[in-house]
C-alpha cells in the first residue's frame, strides 16, 4: 500500500512539475465569428461624445471601451499600426519610425512605395499572416504592412493604399466581405481611415475641420453597422476599433531648425518632426554628441542605448545613434521646410512622449465575443494583438503583449 501511495504521489508530483514547466497553451476560440479591426488614425479618446459621435459612443457604451490606450514609442503612424497587428514594440518589429534608414535596404518613408511594399522592412508576423498560415481567410482594406509579402506571405485580399478610395467604398467593400458564406468570409479584416489625422495635422486637433472629420468617420461607422444589419450578420461580427495615437496642438511659430540643433557637418538628420534621429558624421562623433546630448530649451537628446527605459526603444539597428525628443507643442525640421510653411495659426502633431495625455489612443470593442457596458483601465497597445489572436482562433506568435490585460473584455 505504501509503495502504491509513493508511486501515485510521484506521478502526481511529476504531473504538477510538468504542468509548471510547460507554458499553458494559448486560449483559442472555436467560433467562426469574423473580426473587423478598424483604425481611426489620430482619433483621441476625448473626441468621443454622444452629440458628435453617436455611433461610436453607442458601441463604447454597449460594448467595451478603455479609458484610453497608450501608444508605443515613437507615437507615429506606421510604428504603432504595425505594433497593433504584431504585438511587438517598434524596437522589435523594425518599423522604428515613419522615416528611417537601413544599411542594406536604404531609405524608408511613408510615400516610398517601393520600400513600403518590401517585406524585408517588416519584422514579426502580423495577424493576417498567422491567419493565412492557419488556412483562415483574411483581408485588408489598407493597413501599414499590408502591401508587403511579410515572410513571403501576403493577405488574401489587399490593395495599395489610395487616398482616392472613398470612405463609402472602403466600408461597402468590408460589408460585402462580411456577407459572404462562412467558407470565404475573412476571419480577420482590417479597415483604415486617415481622415481625422489629416484634418488635425492641417488645422489643429480641435479645429472645425478636425471635428468635422470626426463626425464623418462616426457616420462611416454608422454605415458599417447598417450594412452588417441589412446583411443579417450584425450579431456575428466582432468589431475592434482603435487609433494609433492622439494629437497635440502646435503653434506654427513653435519650430526648431535641425541645422540649429547641430551643424550638418557634424551629424545628418535621419528623421525630423517630434522624435528625431541623427547619425554623426564619421570621425565627428564627439563633436556631434557635445552639440546634441542632454537637455535643451525645447527638446532633449540621448544616445540610443540610454533612452528612457519606459520607451522600450533603442536596441534595433535602425534606430539612429542619437535620438532627440521634442517637447509637446514643438516641431523640428530643416530650415528650408520651415521657411515654406506659414508662421501663423496652429497645426496638429504627434510623435511626442506617449505618456502625454494628448497622445492617448482610443479602444472600443463590440460584438458577440465581448461583454457589455465595460470600461477598462488604460493599457499599452501591444496588448491588442493577443486579443486578436484569441478572437481569430490562432495561436499567437511571440509578442510583447499580455493576454490577461484584455481578458476581462470577453464574454467568456
What proportions of the chain, in percent to the nearest 5, are helix, strand and coil?
35, 20, 45
Task: Select which of 32, 53, 77, 216 is catalytic.
Answer: 77
Q: Is the previous residue joined to 74 through a cis bond, with omega within 30 degrees of 0?
A: yes
For residue 323, give the nearest of 307, 342, 341, 346 by alpha carbon. 307
For residue 401 the three cell numbers come to 503583449
- Residue 77 is a catalytic residue: yes
The contacts found for 146-155 with CB under 8 angstroms, 24 or more apart, are 146/190, 147/113, 147/116, 147/117, 148/116, 148/117, 148/118, 148/119, 148/121, 148/122, 149/119, 150/119, 150/122, 150/125, 150/126, 151/119, 151/125, 152/119, 153/129, 155/128, 155/129
Instruction: Report the C-alpha gap between 171 and 188 in whole angstroms.
Output: 15
Assigned C-alpha cell, 248: 497635440
Residue 292 CB neighbours (<10 A): 24
Q: Name the E strands within 169-219.
A: 188-193
Tell me if 350 sits within 8 A of 201, measured CB to CB: no
Alpha-carbon gap, residue 110 to 78, rounded angstroms:
8
Active site (catalytic) residues: 77
Amino acid at each position: 500500500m505504501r509503495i502504491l501511495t509513493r508511486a501515485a504521489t510521484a506521478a502526481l508530483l511529476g504531473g504538477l512539475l510538468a504542468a509548471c514547466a510547460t507554458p499553458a497553451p494559448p486560449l483559442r476560440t472555436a467560433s467562426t465569428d469574423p473580426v473587423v479591426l478598424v483604425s481611426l488614425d489620430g482619433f483621441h479618446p476625448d473626441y468621443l461624445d454622444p452629440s458628435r459621435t453617436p455611433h461610436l459612443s453607442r458601441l463604447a457604451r454597449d460594448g467595451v471601451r478603455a479609458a484610453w490606450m497608450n501608444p508605443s514609442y515613437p507615437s507615429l503612424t506606421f510604428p504603432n499600426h504595425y505594433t497593433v497587428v504584431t504585438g511587438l514594440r517598434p524596437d522589435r518589429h523594425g518599423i522604428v519610425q515613419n522615416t528611417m534608414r537601413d544599411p542594406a535596404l536604404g531609405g524608408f518613408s511613408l510615400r516610398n512605395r517601393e520600400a513600403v511594399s518590401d517585406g524585408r522592412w517588416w519584422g514579426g508576423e502580423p495577424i493576417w499572416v498567422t491567419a493565412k498560415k492557419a488556412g483562415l481567410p483574411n483581408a485588408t482594406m489598407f493597413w501599414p504592412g499590408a502591401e508587403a509579402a511579410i515572410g513571403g506571405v501576403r493577405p488574401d485580399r489587399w490593395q495599395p493604399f489610395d487616398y482616392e478610395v472613398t470612405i463609402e467604398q472602403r466600408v461597402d467593400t468590408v460589408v460585402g466581405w462580411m456577407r459572404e458564406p462562412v467558407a470565404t468570409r475573412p476571419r480577420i479584416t482590417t479597415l483604415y481611415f486617415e481622415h481625422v489625422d489629416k484634418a488635425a495635422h492641417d488645422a489643429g486637433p480641435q479645429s472645425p475641420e478636425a471635428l468635422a472629420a470626426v463626425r464623418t468617420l462616426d457616420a462611416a461607422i454608422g454605415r458599417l453597422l447598417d450594412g452588417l444589419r441589412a446583411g443579417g450578420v450584425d450579431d456575428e461580427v466582432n468589431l475592434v476599433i482603435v487609433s494609433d495615437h492622439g494629437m497635440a496642438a502646435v503653434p506654427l511659430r513653435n519650430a526648431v531648425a535641425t541645422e540649429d540643433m547641430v551643424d550638418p557637418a557634424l551629424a545628418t538628420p535621419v528623421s525630423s518632426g517630434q522624435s528625431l534621429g541623427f547619425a554623426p558624421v564619421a570621425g565627428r562623433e564627439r563633436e556631434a554628441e557635445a552639440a546634441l546630448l542632454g537637455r535643451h530649451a525645447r527638446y532633449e537628446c540621448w544616445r540610443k542605448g540610454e533612452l528612457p527605459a519606459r520607451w522600450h526603444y533603442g536596441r534595433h539597428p535602425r534606430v539612429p545613434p542619437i535620438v532627440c525628443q521634442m517637447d509637446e507643442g514643438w516641431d523640428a525640421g530643416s530650415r528650408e521646410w520651415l521657411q515654406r510653411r506659414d508662421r501663423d495659426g496652429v497645426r496638429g502633431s504627434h510623435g511626442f512622449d506617449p505618456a502625454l495625455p494628448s497622445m492617448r489612443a482610443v479602444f472600443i470593442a463590440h460584438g458577440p465575443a465581448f461583454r457589455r457596458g465595460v470600461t477598462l483601465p488604460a493599457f499599452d497597445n501591444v496588448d491588442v494583438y493577443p486579443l486578436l489572436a484569441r478572437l481569430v482562433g490562432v495561436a499567437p506568435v511571440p509578442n510583447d503583449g499580455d493576454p490577461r490585460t484584455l481578458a476581462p473584455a470577453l464574454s467568456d
